[in-house]
Every structure is written in C-alpha cells, then in structure tokens.
Structure 1
C-alpha cells in the first residue's frame, strides 16, 4: 500500500494535497484497492460549495459504490474529466492521474484535523 508522506488523509480514505489555498483531492491507494476495479465516477459540478465532510463524489466498482467526502470546505474549481471515460486511472495512479477534484479552500486550518501519512497507515488494516 502506497501512502505518500507529503499528503494529508481523512478517516474516510480521501487524500489532500494543499498548494496556495487549492486542495487537490482523491481517494487513497488503500481505498481503491478495497473497491477493486473502478467502473464509474460521479464528480461534483464546478462552482459547487462544500463543507468539510459533505458528500462530494461517488466512485463505483464491480464490488460496490462508495461516497467520496470533501475533506475540506470550499468551492470546486476543477474536476478530473479524464475519469469520466477512464475511471480505472484511480486504480492505476490514485495519487497522480487519478485525482478527483480541486477545491478552493475556505479555511486551510481544516487540514490540521486530518492525519499525516504515518497516522493514516495505522488506520488501514494490513492485507
């Protein structure tokens, strides 16, 4: 299981990369491996406002559907439209090409409530 050290993690298995008030959000390698082969992604609309913890997207696999939560509050400024035709990008590269959406963060201190990589690894059961 890959857990990049430079990201923040939510208990609901989203990751965040924060750069100049813009959070890039995806699901973790652990989450995509538990879901298995992803077949569909429903992304939020650009311009939508979310609070931390709101349901923001849905990922579906051959096994199950799972909600993706906004780990921080703010406005969606970009979505990864590549995922509409290629949801398997999340399986192949969860922390790169498989990102889901970007959000202009209202309060950057919300990431202080998230886990670092070591804490997140402790949360995830060993396979």
Structure 2
C-alpha cells in the first residue's frame, strides 16, 4: 500500500482533516423583491471560493517548525495560487484565506527558542480559485 500525504506546492503537510468539507454549497442563491413586489430569485453554480480548512486537534497531526516556516514563506506572497493535493488524490488550486487568519500555529511544547524539528499544532485556511 502506498502511503500518501497532503501536499501544498510540493511541501508535505501533516494529514490534517478537512474540517469544513461539507459546510459549503456549490449552488448560490439570491432572493429579493422587485419594486412591484414580485419575488426575484437568482440561482447559479459557484465555480470557486470553496473554503478548505485543514485543522487538527491538540493530540494529533503535528507540523514541524521547518515546514511551518516554508508555509509562512508561501503565505507572504500576495495573490499566490498554489496546488493543494489531499492524501486521497484530490487536487485544488487554492489561495490563502488571509482575512480569516491563513495560518494558525501553536507550539506543542513552549520553549524560549524553537528548533526546526519542534512540533506545532496548526490550522491552515485556503480558498479555491
């Protein structure tokens, strides 16, 4: 059996669960009333904008500081479009969701100086484009 992991532009990510996978609807609907009181309903397919939040819990799915620094470097590039590949093989073109805190990281062990192998609990927030 081949072991697969999530990756972002070739950076191997921890296998964090996609926490909001089923909280998004592919159909958008706008309901309004016209000046004469008629109901106006607009319905369409969303082609992008799906949130992808990869979030572990405090006991699993750690990320090393070295990987985290690579992710912060990607997050510092405005408008950067990346390829997110999930462990199940699905691929998405994504951007960071900066407005919601693109990367959230908490060290597992609090130290004055963190080394490259020290582990963090992370949440990564993306938006499909």
From the two aligned structures, give the one with the greater strand fraction.
2
Larger radius of gyration: 2
Provide the TM-score with structure 1 as the length reference: 0.31
Provide the TM-score with structure 2 as the length reference: 0.30
